[in-house]
Structure 1
Amino acid sequence: MAGTSPPDTDTTGKRESARDAADGLPVDQLKEAGQEFVQALMVKALKSASGTVKHMTERLGVPGGDGGGSGDGGGGDGGGTGAKMVAAGAESLQEGKSPLKAGLKAGMTGAKETAKKAVGAGDGGKGGGEDEAKVINIVEKFDVGLPRRVAYDQWTQFAEFPSMTSKVEKVEQESDEKLNWRAKIFLSHRDWKSTIVEQVPDERILWKSEGPKGYVDGAVTFHELSPDLTRILLVAEYHPDGFLEKTANLWRAQGRRLRLDFKHIERHMMTRTLLERDDIEGWRGEIRDGEVVRTHEDAVKEEKQAAEG
């Protein structure tokens, strides 16, 4: 049986010497210096990241980013998004958190500041808050296999919009030129009023709206491509108002919703309207400058007389 080896005195001596040397080092000072070094690297990384975030924000359509200035956020608003990101990351490092957690905190700070500025809530409403919630311009078109008159008449049946779209819940017509709308937005509801400023049978409808939580102005026109083919062109301007609307506007949510409803109208016309085209009765009156200049009854009477003549 082999005996146990005697302890290696050289190895043991080296360990004890290394331990004695380590005990003589200023460990606390080294730790502090290392932390400052990591902090400096983190600040540099965050400054670079703030410039990247600003560039990406501008590409996503949020004008002005952090209010101008260099990538470190030190210009424009005197305390921009980049500077706040750096401060948040440095604070986390000083608290002893890892660079990863510090970076996550800095990123969250940057995201919050970007959202606040986009809705005009950052820095007390300064730094271009009013201008950053821009109007969404939407231009859409589709062709339907219907005569222009039938397509126009179907569009004038505003009470049927809840069945043609996915978000409109109710439409009440106070008069020939005034309508009250109600739609579901996320988990809440929105109401607004619209006034038809111009309506010419088979040609166009223009309207203006008002509402406490945003509104849509626009126009829809009807173009005959052939006796049984009509092109419908929609031009709309969405004006957000309120925190939820402006936040959703940052991601262009309203534009996507309006385009989706436009697709629903197209589907409705190509299915139900196409099958019931002979039963569609539209409003044939005419509106100029927000006032009815020819009633529906007068228009129908004139058409009947013209047909008999």
Structure 2
Amino acid sequence: MAKTDQNLGDGLDKLRGELGNYVGARVGHLADAAGDKLAGVTDKLLDSAESGGSLLPGLNMKSLLGAGAKSIKDSVVDKAKGVFGGKGKRKSGTTKVMNIIEVLDVGVPIRTAYDHWTQYEKFSSFTKGVRDASKDDEINSAWKVKVGPSTRSWKGKVQEQVPDDRIIWTSEGAKGTTRGCVSFHELAPALTRIVLVVEYYPSGFFEKTGNIWRAQGRRLRLDFKHFQRYVTLTAEEPEGWRGEIRDGEVVRTHEEALEDEESADQDENAEDEYDEDVADEEEDDEEDDAPEDAYEEDEDVEDEEEDEGADRRG
């Protein structure tokens, strides 16, 4: 009887454990499904609070959130940690970092893929998240990106750029900062692998809350796939920026890079022509040698015949 009771107790414990896992998984799924909507609501609240406006007539969000913002933040963060199994409190001043790593292959040569990436101004024409992108100069650029129902602005700066190899950048914005690197790898003459690595540091309570739902990461991944589709299917020949940047400074301009490439092409063509000339000369030498050998053989035969005739006469 005691053994039966023990088995029954073990079975109940196992059932409770499985039920807890199931409930936790369902809660996580529902929370993820509602993430975009919650991120949009929190973005609107933040924008209204920062601008001093209101969502309802006669209701000033800035004055409403001013004194109680800290308590609201602590309450929401604690509940979010409870849902996702967080333990303890995060140290003051630390920031949750979102790491994004994506790998895509595009059916174009490596130079074509790289040149398309350097044309920031055209990103808004084939992606859904990029609203506007413009270059201030070779290093600095300005971006407006749509995340959920809100628009975010960033100032980007290229730290390192090597043609057909990699681009490393940083960006600063009111709602967060990023560090990123995109690298290009030739798999075949008409097949290129692109590796994208981004670190996103949200700034502000509502932006950090939105970060829990990974809305920014999903937006970036989708636009990366739009880039893959566009580059693979477009017939347009890109005019990319071919300069080089090191430590945030231009060490070789676009014009200098084109001159170097043109000079390298000329040297390569000259070397090919030289190899062809050498090959032609060798063929000519072989043709010239062949008749002489045949003529010498004929003379040897005639000499032998004359010697045989002299022997018979003798």
| TM-score category, normalised to shorter length | 0.5 to 0.7
Answer yes or no: is 1:196 the counterpart of 2:158.
yes
Match of 1:260 among 222, 237, 240: 222
The structure 1 segments of at least 4 consecutive aligned residues displaced by more than 4 Å after TM superposition are 116-119, 129-133
Corresponding letter in the other structure for 1:260: L
Matches within 5 A, 1:103-252: 113-115=75-77, 127-128=89-90, 130=92, 133-252=95-214
Percent identity of paired positions between Structure 1 and Structure 2: 50
Q: Which residue of 2 aligns with 1:300?
A: 258
Could you report, residue by residue, the CA deviation over 1:237-295 in whole angstroms, capped at 9, with x for unpaired residues?
Answer: 111112331111111111111111111111111211xx22xx21110000000000000
Greater fraction helix = 2
2:92 & 2:210 partners in 1: Cα distance? Answer: 16
TM-aligned CA deviation for residue 132 of structure 1: 7.1
Q: Give me the TM-score of the superposition, normalised by structure 2.
A: 0.58
The farther-off stretch of 148-157 and 239-248 is 239-248
In structure 2, relative to structure 1, the CA distance for the partners of 1:112 and 1:195 (3 Å cut) is closer
Identify the residue that residue 94 of structure 1 maps to in structure 2.
none
Matches within 5 A, 1:14-93: 56=24
Q: Is the 8 A contact 1:117 1:132 kept in 2?
A: no
- Which one has more relative contact order, counting CA pairs under 8 Å at least 6 apart? 2
Shift of the alpha carbon at 1:203?
0.2
Unmatched 5+ residue regions in structure 1?
1-47, 61-110, 120-125
Q: Distance in 1 between matches of 2:215 and 2:92?
A: 19
Question: How far apart are 1:133 and its partner, in Å?
Answer: 4.6
Q: Give the counterpart of 1:284 among 242, 250, 265.
A: 242
Where do 5+ consecutive residues of structure 2 fail to align?
A: 1-15, 29-72, 82-87, 268-314
Q: 1:267, 1:243 → 2: CA distance? A: 35
One-letter code of the match for 1:283? W
| CA drift at 1:116 | 5.4
CA distance in 2, matches of 1:176, 1:259: 26
| Partner SS, residue 283 of structure 1 | coil
Structure 1 residue 118: Cα displacement = 5.5
The structure having more radius of gyration, on CA atoms, is: 2
Which string of whole-angstrom CA distances, capped at 9 and with x for unpartnered residues, describes residues 118-167 of structure 1?
A: 69xxxxxx932647751110110111110000000000001011113111
Contact 2:148 2:215 in 1 (8 A): no
**C-alpha contact 1:118 1:246 (8 A) present in aligned 2:** no
Aligned 1:3-18 pairs, distance under 5 A: none
CA pair 118-208 structure 1, distance change in 2 beyond 3 A: farther
Alpha-carbon offset, residue 186 of structure 1: 2.5
Q: CA RMSD in A?
A: 2.8
Secondary structure, counterpart of 1:244 in structure 2: helix
Letter in 2 for 1:270: T
